[in-house]
């Protein structure tokens, strides 16, 4: 305003404010209050006047707060021969003091709220008023505004403490600790009239503003004009506002404030200064109030400025939002730190009045948390409201928390939309705090990439760099009907076996499979192949990239195994992906081929027992999200564990494959007397009796030789001529291709294979080999060999990409016929042995594995029973124990917990039972379970789990999230915490997920449909010796972005404060701030609710109260300490 009037401006600033925008915008700027506290600097009246006189200042504008309502300061300014832009000192004294203003209003018949006639000097005087008028009451500072020095009290117990706090806060903020008390109106609206007066006695109003949306008496959203006042009440209220101003000869700008309820309006005070929300009045009248202030102070009259009441008109509606660095989800605790990103709103009808809002600004706890005022204007209230919603969405502020999500909720709430908000609307409306926060995807992505750049990969098990740095091309398929033509794969294929499931249901599907004349395949590339070769680390993006081509190339496949097994928890635990989202994503891209999952009977996709309702809910949600076929198994072939898994899958509408876990050798019954052909036929009968749709042989170790395959499949086909048979194996010994061909010839309907570059060794047999071998026979698969090779080209590149996780098994191992390790465990056990310091003792581990299996009673070995045997084996090697020594000393040894729980019966009952007396020696006095482990568990409380997760992560928790939590509570929370910190990284290309991007290389990350980020690493700073961090400079969509990353390898000199623990007596700070008073000492006895420490933050004072009664053991803060949220303040010893 000064610049527009052709005037030069001089600014003052405190040391803490030296980076604020106003310092640079003024023509000149000088530091005030050197050596004083941040607040005291701006209250240094004499120093302010000294600076003005030294630099030829002729007028002083006091701004919004601090000294703007101080009559003493205004008098000093005028005494120094400087013009004060504001009311006369005596008027400030008369109206700025709420008690004097109240008396004045009563003297001219303007209605007021019942209250004390004068200042309250003591708590006892306040108590006398309460005795007459009762609660609720409000305590107000006689000087100042902005909510400081105000307290609402509803009961006798909290009155005394509230009174003392209000007095203390008023004295700190305004230098005046006097207060008064009045009756508190319930649900009133706060309406204020904007006034302008001149030295000639003229006073006009600029209509009213509705400032009812408040928190702790600080305005949050203001609008004008008020939408709910009748014309008659508006006219009376504005007339009374002018009448009060004229009665005292008011000069310059001021605001007359009223409370309005259904019975009328009540004068509460006049603020003898310009207010934060004056922009609303400027927008609806077109009058520059600040310019008018300056001109009036210079001697102009209102008529000379063209400001007469008849010429002042309303132009539509305006809304102002105060955007602050406060966290509504944490009780509006002020946040502090560096603003990393700042992007403003703009456009038609949007006005911004900025404070310290810019990238790089350091937000401190010393002053008001206001960043920017955003004011929108429209022809109607609704247009202005919608503009504000749009503006709030456009803001991008990163690095500190803001109240923008909360403002959005307020402006969207029906009560606000209808204009019915009241002064405690925020406190009375808890649903306003169901916030939908900004995704902040770009900054979170940069934080992850920055951490990757500074500290390396966080992905467990990664060894070294990726083996491929180029983008993997998507292959072109050929049209099976005319292989000279390319196949259009721009859209997913719609033809496939899944159509039969949807049209005819599981029974019709099974019948169609059985009637198919050839051999069908299941592709395990998306599940068991990478579980066996790449430690289950394959990410969704690398499956999704080839998914549409797969839907075409393998349209005649029986199924794709893409879910279940270890993929569920590994997705969350190591890849930070949502396994349910993986299922949904792939389903959308492959609508035609059935999806299959490996499910552990009564354990779903977990490793322990769960209540039955978890298994049923899991199965239902799996089908709902796109799963078709459940391969239900139990690691011990324990039928009781399988029954619930089978029943749950059937009730969910899924196709059920009942699994026979295969071990031993049916062609050599002398070697494995338990696992004979008769045993398998009998177990198959039990499965068929449970109503399964498909019978599956799961050869998890690759033990099924061609001769045995012919014998077993042939016998099953003869006994069960109508049920489809599906065979799964591993190629550890190198014979799986021959075995699958034998199975097909013996009557198997489906065999499992993996794409060539993901096959062999501990994975499944080669898809190309099996399909080629059957191609010219009557058992052909109907899969194009050329298209298999096209997919294989893609997967050979992917295999290189995942080199850091490749098991690097270079040859077949026929030793599997002795040790019987499952394919997936073989490589994992080798890695675990190295981690346990057993490098070079692999042969001993293998021998010990055989001995451990014998000690367990020659069990079927597949997760989790295989883990028991593996843990047992490593225990034997590490402790140099023989099988005989274990048998002799079992009651004296400390076995691994997995071994103890196995012998207790937590996995179920093994074939032939547990070996005795070894079982009794191992479990000793621990409970033993001789039935299904989860049989008697209480139903899982899904509602309680959802509530707990919503309290921690917000309202966007889904039913699938709750299920993930039910199955893997700790893993799910760690996954969600990671996503909260770094965002959803599932669309980040794998090479940048695992390895830092090279300097200067542009990376495109697709974050949504039609929306991508272009990221380029520019530079990394040296480590900061004080903070132990580095600054990483990025270019994001062409703009510079800076993120600060802790260097975990750097030594740091930073002294970090002790944090409060979960113990009730460990009292932490509820917010960041400065300790201004410590009210207890070590040894003091305190009661729950007693104030311990007083904090100041953003000019607000708050008590930190004792949560429990007891004796103070430690006080770890002192007056003047700056502390952060969660820092330990006091430790209380309690019962």
pLDDT tens-place string over residues 155-193 = 988 998 898 888 888 888 777 888 888 888 878 999 999
8 Å CB contact between 314 and 225: yes
CA distance 923 to 1025: 54
Whether residue 849 is contained in a domain is answered as yes
Claim to verify: residue 768 and residue 834 sit in the same structural domain:
no
The per-residue pLDDT for 1052 is 47
Task: Specify if 451 maps to a domain.
Answer: no
- 723 within 8 A of 694, measured Cβ to Cβ: yes
Q: What's the CATH number where 335 sits? A: 3.30.470.20
pLDDT reading at 963 higher than 90:
yes
Question: What CATH code is carried by the domain that includes residue 846?
Answer: 1.10.472.90
Structure tokens at 17: 């404010």
**389, pLDDT greater than 60:** yes
User: Is residue 123 domain-shared with residue 167, that is, in the same domain?
Assistant: yes
- Report the CATH number that the domain containing residue 142 is assigned in CATH: 3.30.1490.20
Residue 191 bridge partners (DSSP): 210, 258
List C-alpha distances in Å: 395 to 269, 357, 433, 720, 1094: 35, 11, 20, 67, 34
* Selected residue with higher pLDDT from 307 and 130: 307
Domain count, the chain: 6
Of 291, 287, 202, 191, residue with least CA distance to 234: 191
Q: What are phi and psi of 196, to 5 degrees?
A: -135, 130
Please check whether residues 866 and 958 belong to one and the same domain: no
Same domain, residue pair 828 and 764: no
Same domain membership, residue 573 and residue 547? yes
507 Cβ neighbours under 8 A, 6+ residues apart: 693
- Report the distance separating Cα 152 and Cα 178, nearest Å: 16
- The DSSP annotation for 863-877 comes to TTHHHHHHHHHHHHH
One domain, residues 720 and 844: no
Q: Is 240 annotated as a binding residue?
A: no
pLDDT at residue 832, as a whole number: 66
Does the pLDDT value for residue 899 go beyond 90?
yes
Which residues on neighbouring strands pair with residue 1078, listed in sequence order? 1093
> Confidence class of residue 829 from pLDDT cuts 50, 70 and 90?
confident
Pairing of strands 1029-1036, 1011-1020: antiparallel
The response to whether 1134 counts as a known ligand-binding position is no
Q: Binding site annotation covers 190?
A: no
What span, in angstroms and rounded, lies between the C-alpha atoms of 1090 and 1088? 6
In the chain, pLDDT over 70 holds for what percent of residues?
Answer: 97
Q: Nearest Cα to 360, choosing from 1040, 1085, 1023?
A: 1040
766: domain CATH number is 3.20.20.70
Does 397 lie in the same domain as 484? Answer: no
Neighbours of 714 (CB within 10 A): 17
In a domain, 309, yes or no: no
What is the token pair recorded at 515? 């009637």
Q: Is 730 exposed, middle or buried (0-12, 13-18, 19+ CB in 10 A)?
A: buried
pLDDT (mean) for 965-969: 97
- Average pLDDT of the chain is 92
643 is an annotated ligand-binding site residue: no
Select from 128, 156, 184 the last residue of a domain: 184
CA angle 748, 754, 755 (to 5 degrees): 130
Query: Residues 172, 177, 178, CA angle at the centre, nearest 5°?
Result: 160
- Domain assignment present for residue 748? The answer is yes
The reply to whether 419 and 560 lie within a common domain is no
Residue whose tokens read 């005649």: 556
Which tokens hold the place of 991?
Answer: 């090479």
What is the rounded average pLDDT of the residues 199-214? 97
At residue 126 the predicted structure's pLDDT band, cuts being 50, 70 and 90, is confident
Q: Are 484 and 424 in a shared domain?
A: no
The parent domain of residue 119 ranges over: 114-184
Report yes or no: 589 and 474 within 8 Å, Cβ to Cβ.
Answer: no
Q: Is 169 annotated as a binding residue?
A: no
Please indicate, yes or no, if residue 462 is contained in any of the structural domains: no
pLDDT tens for each residue of 979-1030: 999 999 999 999 999 999 999 999 999 988 899 999 999 999 999 888 889 9
Task: Please indicate, yes or no, if residue 743 is contained in any of the structural domains.
Answer: yes
The mean-pLDDT minimum among 112-116, 224-228, 553-557 falls in 112-116
**Shared-domain flag, residues 715 and 669:** yes
| 1106-1130 pLDDT tens trace | 999 999 999 999 988 888 778 999 9
Question: What is the distance between the alpha carbons of residues 748 and 710, in angstroms, rounded to a whole number?
Answer: 10
Residue 1127, preceding peptide bond in cis (omega within 30° of 0): no
pLDDT band at residue 21 under the 50/70/90 scheme: confident
C-alpha 788, offset from chain centre: 41
Q: Residue 1102 — φ and ψ, nearest 5°?
A: -140, 145
Q: List pLDDT tens digits, range 942-962.
A: 999 999 999 898 888 999 999
Q: Are residue 763 and residue 870 in the same domain, yes or no?
A: no
- Specify the CATH number for the domain of residue 1082: 2.40.50.100
Q: Is 338 annotated as a binding residue?
A: no
**145-157: pLDDT as tens digits:** 666 778 889 898 8
Query: Can you tell me the distance from the alpha carbon of 456 to that of 271, in angstroms, rounded to the nearest whole number?
Result: 57
Specify the CATH number for the domain of residue 952.
1.10.10
Residues labelled catalytic: 273
Shared domain check, 639 and 740? yes
Establish whether 730 is an annotated binding residue.
yes
Contact 560, 627 (CB under 8 A): no
For residue 221, tell me if it sits in a domain: no
Is 122 a residue whose pLDDT tops 50?
yes
- C-alpha 386/C-alpha 317 separation (Å) is 12
Residue 142 placed within a domain: yes
Q: Is omega for the bond preceding 917 within 30 degrees of 0, making it cis?
A: yes
């Amino acid at each position: 305003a000064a610049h527009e009037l052709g005037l030069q401006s001089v600014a003052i600033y405190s040391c803490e404010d030296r980076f604020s925008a106003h310092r640079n915008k003024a023509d000149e700027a000088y530091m005030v209050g050197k050596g004083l506290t941040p607040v005291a600097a701006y209250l240094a009246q004499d120093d302010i006047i000294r600076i003005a006189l030294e630099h030829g200042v002729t007028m002083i504008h006091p701004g919004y707060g601090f000294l703007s309502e101080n009559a003493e300061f205004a008098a000093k300014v005028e005494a120094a021969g400087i013009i004060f832009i504001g009311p006369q000192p005596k008027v400030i004294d008369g109206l700025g003091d709420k008690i004097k203003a109240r008396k004045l209003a009563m003297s001219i018949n303007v209605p007021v709220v019942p209250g004390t006639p004068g200042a309250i000097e003591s708590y006892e005087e306040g108590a006398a008023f309460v005795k007459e008028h009762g609660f609720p009451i409000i305590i107000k500072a006689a000087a100042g505004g902005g909510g400081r020095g105000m307290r609402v009290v509803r009961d006798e117990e909290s009155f005394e403490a509230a009174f003392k706090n209000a007095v203390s806060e008023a004295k700190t903020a305004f230098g005046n600790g006097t207060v008064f008390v009045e009756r508190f109106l319930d649900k009133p609206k706060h309406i204020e009239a904007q006034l302008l007066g001149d030295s000639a006695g003229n006073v006009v109003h600029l209509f009213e503003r509705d400032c009812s949306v408040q928190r702790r008496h600080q305005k949050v959203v203001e609008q004008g004009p008020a939408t709910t006042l009748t014309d008659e009440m508006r006219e009376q209220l504005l007339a009374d506002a002018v009448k009060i101003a004229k009665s005292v000869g008011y000069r310059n700008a001021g605001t007359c404030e009223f409370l309005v309820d259904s019975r009328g309006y009540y004068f509460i005070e006049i603020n003898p200064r310009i207010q934060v929300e004056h922009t609303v009045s400027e927008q609806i009248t077109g009058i520059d109030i600040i310019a008018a202030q300056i001109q009036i102070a210079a001697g102009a009259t209102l008529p000379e400025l063209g400001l007469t009441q008849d010429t002042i008109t309303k132009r539509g509606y305006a809304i102002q939002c105060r955007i602050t660095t406060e966290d509504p989800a944490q009780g509006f605790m002020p946040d502090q730190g560096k603003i990393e990103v700042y992007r403003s709103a703009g456009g038609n009808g949007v006005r911004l009045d900025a404070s310290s809002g810019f990238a790089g600004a350091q937000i401190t706890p010393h002053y008001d948390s206001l960043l920017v005022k955003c004011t929108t204007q429209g022809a109607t209230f609704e247009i202005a409201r919608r503009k504000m919603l749009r503006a709030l969405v456009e803001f991008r502020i990163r690095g500190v928390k803001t109240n923008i999500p909360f403002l959005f909720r307020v402006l969207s709430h029906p009560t606000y939309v209808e204009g019915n908000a009241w002064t405690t609307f925020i406190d009375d409306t808890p649903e306003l705090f169901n916030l939908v926060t900004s995704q902040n995807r770009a900054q979170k992505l940069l934080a992850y990439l920055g951490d990757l750049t500074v500290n390396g990969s966080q992905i467990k098990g990664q060894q070294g760099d990726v083996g491929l740095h180029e983008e993997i091309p998507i292959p072109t398929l050929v049209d099976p009907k005319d292989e000279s033509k390319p196949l259009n794969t721009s859209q997913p294929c719609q033809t496939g076996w899944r159509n039969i499931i949807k049209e005819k249901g599981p029974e019709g599907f099974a019948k169609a499979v059985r009637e198919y004349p050839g051999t069908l395949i299941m592709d395990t590339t998306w599940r068991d192949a990478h579980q066996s070769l790449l430690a289950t680390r394959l990410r969704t993006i690398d499956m999704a990239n080839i998914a549409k081509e797969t839907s075409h190339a393998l349209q005649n496949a029986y199924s794709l195994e893409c879910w279940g097994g270890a993929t569920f928890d590994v997705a969350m635990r190591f890849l930070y992906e949502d396994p349910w989202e993986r299922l949904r994503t792939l389903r959308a891209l492959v609508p035609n081929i059935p999806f299959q999952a490996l499910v552990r009977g009564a354990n779903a996709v977990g490793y322990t027992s769960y209540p039955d309702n978890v298994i049923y809910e899991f199965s239902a949600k799996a089908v709902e999200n796109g799963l078709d076929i459940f391969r239900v198994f139990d690691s011990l072939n324990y039928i009781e564990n399988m029954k619930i898994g089978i029943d749950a899958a059937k009730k969910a509408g899924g196709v059920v494959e009942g699994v026979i876990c295969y071990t031993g050798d049916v062609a050599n019954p002398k070697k494995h007397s338990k696992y004979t052909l008769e045993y398998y036929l009998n177990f198959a009968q039990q499965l068929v009796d449970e109503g399964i749709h498909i019978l599956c042989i799961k050869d998890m170790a690759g033990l099924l030789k061609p001769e045995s395959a012919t014998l077993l499949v042939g016998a099953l086909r003869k006994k069960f001529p109508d049920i489809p048979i599906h065979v799964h194996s591993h190629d550890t010994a190198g014979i799986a291709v021959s075995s699958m061909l034998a199975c097909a010839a013996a009557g198997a309907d489906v065999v499992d294979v993996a794409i060539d570059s993901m096959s062999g060794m501990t994975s499944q047999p080669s898809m190309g080999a099996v399909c080629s071998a059957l191609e010219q026979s009557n058992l052909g698969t109907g899969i194009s060999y050329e298209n298999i090779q096209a997919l294989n080209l893609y997967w050979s590149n992917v295999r290189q990409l995942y080199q850091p996780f490749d098991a690097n098994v270079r040859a077949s191992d026929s030793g599997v016929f002795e040790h019987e390790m499952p394919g997936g465990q073989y490589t994992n056990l080798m890695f675990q042995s190295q981690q346990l310091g057993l490098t070079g003792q692999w042969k001993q581990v293998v021998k010990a594995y055989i001995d451990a299996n014998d000690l367990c009673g020659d069990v079927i070995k597949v997760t989790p029973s295989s883990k028991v045997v593996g843990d047992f084996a490593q225990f034997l090697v590490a402790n140099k124990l023989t099988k005989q020594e274990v048998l002799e000393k079992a009651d004296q040894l400390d076995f691994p917990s997995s071994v103890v729980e196995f012998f207790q019966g937590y996995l179920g009952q093994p074939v032939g039972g547990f070996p005795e007396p070894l079982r009794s020696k191992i479990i000793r006095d621990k409970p033993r379970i001789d039935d299904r482990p989860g049989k008697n568990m209480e139903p899982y409380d899904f509602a309680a789990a959802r509530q707990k997760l919503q309290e921690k992560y917000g309202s966007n928790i889904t039913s699938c999230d709750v299920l993930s939590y039910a199955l893997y509570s700790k893993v799910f929370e760690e996954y969600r915490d990671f996503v909260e910190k770094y965002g959803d990284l599932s669309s980040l290309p794998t090479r940048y997920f695992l390895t830092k991007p090279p300097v200067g290389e542009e990376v495109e990350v697709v974050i949504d449909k039609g929306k991508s980020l272009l990221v380029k690493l520019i530079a990394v700073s040296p480590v900061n010796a004080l903070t132990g961090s580095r600054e990483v400079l990025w270019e994001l969509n062409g703009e510079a972005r800076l993120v600060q990353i802790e260097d975990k390898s750097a030594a740091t000199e930073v002294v970090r404060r002790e944090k409060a623990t979960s113990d009730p007596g460990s009292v932490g700070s509820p917010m960041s701030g400065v300790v201004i008073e410590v009210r207890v000492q070590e040894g003091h006895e305190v009661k729950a609710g007693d104030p311990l420490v007083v904090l100041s933050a953003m000019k607000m004072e708050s008590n930190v109260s004792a949560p429990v009664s007891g004796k103070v053991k430690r006080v770890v803060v002192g007056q003047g300490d700056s502390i952060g949220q969660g820092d330990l303040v006091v430790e209380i010893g309690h019962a």
